[in-house]
């Protein structure tokens, strides 16, 4: 990935622009970049929100807000409590989910929404 990223940065440095001047130039640039490697595909989105890993970044009238992002296709599964795993695993699941909620939530309301999601996920998994 590092080599691929360096190639991308070098092309930007040669043109003196970050991504060009128009949406069409951005699309053309991404089409070229998507042919560099079969396993790496870039997509673009123009809007008020951006997904990055498991964080949702939102521009709310100039104020950057963050929250935990869950892929729509991903089921809220964790190791069921009735499974034969060591007991500390279940505490770690809850602790990790809550730590991520605290780190990624820029507003208390976003934290509360994630807390509710965690509670439902744990109830769903027994």
Question: Residue 4: what pLDDT?
Answer: 67
pLDDT in tens, 59-89: 999 899 999 999 888 777 788 878 888 888 8
Domains of the chain, residue spans: 2-33, 49-124
Rg (CA), the chain: 20
What CA–CA distance (Å, rounded) separates 43 from 110? 26
Q: What value does the mean pLDDT take over residues 34-63?
A: 86
Residue 52 pLDDT exceeds 90 = no
DSSP helix/strand/coil, 47: coil
Q: Is 79 exposed, middle or buried (0-12, 13-18, 19+ CB in 10 A)?
A: middle
């Amino acid at each position: 990935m590092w080599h691929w990223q360096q190639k991308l940065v070098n092309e930007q440095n040669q043109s003196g622009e970050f991504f060009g001047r128009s949406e069409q130039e951005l699309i053309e640039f991404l089409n070229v970049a998507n042919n560099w490697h079969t396993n790496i595909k870039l997509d673009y989105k123009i809007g008020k929100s951006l997904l990055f890993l498991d964080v949702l970044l939102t521009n709310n009238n100039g104020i950057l807000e963050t929250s935990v992002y869950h892929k729509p296709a991903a089921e809220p599964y964790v190791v069921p409590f009735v499974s034969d795993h060591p007991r500390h695993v279940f505490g770690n699941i809850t602790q990790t989910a809550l730590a991520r909620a605290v780190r990624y939530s820029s507003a208390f309301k976003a934290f509360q929404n994630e807390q509710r999601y965690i509670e439902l996920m744990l109830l769903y998994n027994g």
